[in-house]
Every structure is written in structure tokens, then in C-alpha cells.
Structure 1
């Protein structure tokens, strides 16, 4: 482990500002949407901004999150172009593995969005737009966070396609940020649905299921 850490400065050029910008964008996006979504849940400030229309407010946040994802991806690609390549990551096999990872990652992300819909994907729970039942079909029968893991796979695949060790390093940052986000998001989202069930139990209403994961990070 120590030898790997000693060799890391030779594999990744930490003097490049583009690397720092990319890492910052990676960490910023989930932090941003978690703060905004929780504030919306507690204060409804976005819904009030859109005249009480929670659907429109959710779509506005969705557009913002998607746009931030595009910026993050641009900064990631630019950072890779400024980084040194490594012979072990060049050649047919690493490149083919990279394209396969990107393809599989996109399948997880796109199929998740298809299953959840726009509001289910982009934090509709925090706007009071709850799903009727828990999503159990593909890809949620594989993992409870297919979007996050699919996005991580795409980052790693891109790193292999470019043949850049820095991409693997930034993929580690992506995975770490997502794992932290999951620890904050899943319990909070579960409590939103549990609260609905408690309210239904009091009124004798029909019970429904719950959706645990449904966040988008492109």
C-alpha cells in the first residue's frame, strides 16, 4: 500500500488545476442537491417560488441537477486530457473494458430513470411527490443505488478509454462521495415514506410502498 501511495504522484499530476476543479465538481453536485432538497422538504421554498406548483419546482431542480452533471462531466474529461497516460491502461483490452463499463453504467442509469420517471429520479419525494409502491424491477433488483453505481462505472470506463490513472483516482472520489450521500439520503427518504404510512394508518387509508433510492448524478 505504501509503495502504491509513493508512486501516485508520478501517475497523477496533482499540480493541474483542472484536476482540482473536477474533484470539486464531483463533490459539489450531491452536496448541492441534498442541501436544496432538504430545505425544500422543510420549507417548501422552491414550491413557493413556483406559485405552489410542486411539479414545476421539481422539474426546475431536475434541469439544474442535470445541467450541473453536464458541467461536471466536461470538467472531468478536460482534467483527463491534462493528465499523463500510463502504458498499462493503453491498448485494446483496457479500451474495450472502458467502453463496456460506460455502456453498462449507462444502462443502469437510463433504466433507473425509466423506472422512476423524472420526479422519482430527481428528488420528487422531497417535494411531496411520492411513488405509490416500491420499485423492485431491474435495475433495482440488482442494487438499491443503480444510478450511483452506474455513474461510477461510467467514470471508470472513461478513465480506461483515455488511459489515465488520474481518472481512476477521480473515480475513487466519485465512489466515496456517492457512498457518503447514500448514508444521508436513504434514511431520510425512508422516513418520508414511513411518515406517509403513519399518516395513512391514523386515517385508515390505503397503505402503499416506498421507494428508497432515486437520485440522479450524471
Structure 2
């Protein structure tokens, strides 16, 4: 039925409507990509394999930064593809709220990157690279993990903007993965 609905939607130009399509491969690929990043961070933290490869905590941190940034772009692209393959669920289609959450989320993420710099943003503490003083200004005066919660809000904003149930479920996965990551970091 879902495949017929997708075919009709592609021919008529009307959006596929429904609650959730669990038959799409893109949904599971996006879920795997979301889970991979924190697992990768934990692997580096446990083994310090990048520090060993690059023989320097700074080079290792920069390599991790490039890797995390690139994997984040891939993850976001896979998330978008998964949402594109999903039906519109009208009660969740809240474009204005979605834009607001997305903007708040990106403000938290970008302002944390600005405050922390490259080594602070990309887990320099995993490599023994610590900042001279604790950052206490915005956005850290709002939340202790602005990058995680900002990213979660951006995922949720996108889900509501597009009206996709799968987006909300994948956002829940993002939230849980970041909670787990925070446990390792604290």
C-alpha cells in the first residue's frame, strides 16, 4: 500500500500522507548514522586511536574534528532523505514552530562553537587538551550541553517543519544518544 501511495504521489505531485512508513530503507540508514557518531566518539575516547595515529593530541583532535563535521553532514543528509521518503502526518506539520526550534537549535550550536573554538568543540578534552578557564557565558549559561540540545532542537524543528512522524522518532534517537554521550563525558 505504501509503495502504491508513493507511486501515486510521484505521478500526481501530491504529497504522500500517513503516519509512518517503516518499509523505507532510508529510515534505517538514517537511524544507523545517528547512532554511529557518539559510538565513534566513545571509541576514540576509550582507545585514543587518533592520538596514536597522528602522534599528537592536537593533530588527533583536528582529525576528529574533520571526521565529526563530515559525518555530521552525512548524517544530516541521510536524515533529510529519510524524511523525504516518509508520509506527511498533518497533525505534526507545524512549519512555524519548526523554524523557531531550528533557529534556536542552530543558535545554541553555533554560539557554542564560537565560544569553545575547534579543540573545545570537537572533544579536545578527550585528547587532554583543556581550556584555561571554564566557559560560563552564553550559551553555557542556558544549558551545560548546548551543542547536544541545540542539535536535538534542530532535528525536531526539521521534523515539525516537514510534518514527519519518522523525524520525531529519529529526534528521540538523537536525544537518547546524546544523553548516553553525556554520561560518558561527565
Please, what TM-score do these two structures have when normalized by structure 2?
0.86
CA distance in 1, matches of 2:169, 2:155: 10
Residue 147 (structure 2) pairs with residue 147 (structure 1): yes
Question: 1:21-36 alignment to 2 at 5 Å?
Answer: 21-36=29-44
The residue number in structure 2 matching 1:87 is 90
The residue number in structure 2 matching 1:196 is none
| 4+ residue segments displaced more than 6 Å | none
Structure 1 residue runs of 5 or longer lacking an equivalent are 1-9, 187-218
Secondary structure, aligned partner of 1:74? helix
CA distance in 1, matches of 2:60, 2:36: 21
CA distance in 2, matches of 1:98, 1:79: 17
Give the C-alpha shift of residue 54 in structure 1. Answer: 2.2
Task: Choose 1 or 2 for highest CA Rg.
Answer: 1
The residue number in structure 2 matching 1:18 is 26
Give the C-alpha shift of residue 38 in structure 1. Answer: 2.6
The residue number in structure 1 matching 2:10 is none
CA distance in 1, matches of 2:38, 2:76: 14
CA distance in 2, matches of 1:128, 1:163: 42
Is the contact between residue 102 and residue 155 of structure 1 (CA under 8 Å) also seen in structure 2?
yes
CA distance in 2, matches of 1:111, 1:163: 27
Structure 2 residue runs of 5 or longer lacking an equivalent are 1-17
Give the alignment partner of residue 49 of structure 1, picking from 43, 53, 71: 53
Question: 1:2-17 alignment to 2 at 5 Å?
Answer: 11-17=19-25
Count, aligned residues: 169
Give the C-alpha shift of residue 109 in structure 1. Answer: 0.3
Please, what TM-score do these two structures have when normalized by structure 1?
0.74
Give the C-alpha shift of residue 125 in structure 1. Answer: 1.1
Give the C-alpha shift of residue 28 in structure 1. Answer: 0.9
